[in-house]
Amino acid sequence: MTHEAETLYIFGAGSFTRCVMHLVSQVARARHLDYWIVDRQIAQNNFIQDRLISESTFYGSAKKPFYFNIPIADVEIREKIALNCLALGGMPLSLIDDDYISYSDVIVRDGAIICARTMITTAVSIGRFFHGNIYSYIEHDCTIGDFVTFSPRVSCNGYVNIANKVFIGAGAIIRNGSADKPLLIGEAAVIGMGAVVTKDVPAFATVLGNPARIV
């Protein structure tokens, strides 16, 4: 199987891919792209069986240039796939719902997925391959790194700096920092579901609870 240029590859056939398939279809139609879902193995009775190919088929047949996106919440896996695709000449393509709201001075870099009811207000910079799941929001004057995952209903208030590869569970709340002292979330930190973050989180730490504590 050989896939020509103007093809979009979506990596992962899990639940998040199911949730963004309407965006995949919309983007593919608007850009006149063929698209395929790439997974480690072909599962029977999959919801996208007729569009599913294995990773081995992708690596054996993909021809550059091609587009790709990665609806996989795990930040380490997402980074690995992204780096492989970039090395092959792939071009990241964002999937952004029409129901997303943003105001002035918002930068979202390539490879993002921004779902319905997500809000990003003003003076916000977001790195590559960001996931903003449904009802998540980012307030003013925030900086978000690469490969960051916001699960559903994450609330990030103003003056917060989030480093690369941070995973934030559903319903977590991050309190605001200030202009002279932003609240800092370190690289590869994990913020658990429903956590209320009231102070800086060190790199590689996992925090849970209200108020959030390192575990």
- State the catalytic residues: 140
Q: Any idea what the Cα angle at residue 70 is, between residues 73 and 169, rounded to 5°?
A: 15
Measured distance CA(78)–CA(128) in Å, rounded = 11
Measured distance CA(215)–CA(203) in Å, rounded = 13
Amino acid type, 202: P
Take residue 141 and report the two structure tokens written for it.
Answer: 């004057």
Output the 3-class SS for the chain: CCECCCEEEEECCCHHHHHHHHHHHHHHHHHCCEEEEEECCCCCCCCCHHHEEEHHHHHHHECCCEEEECCCCCHHHHHHHHHHHHHCCEEECCEECCCCEECCCEEECCCCEECCCCEECCCEEECCCCEECCCCEECCCEEECCCCEECCCCEECCCEEECCCCEECCCCEECCCCCCCCEEECCCCEECCCCEECCCECCCCEEECCCCEEC
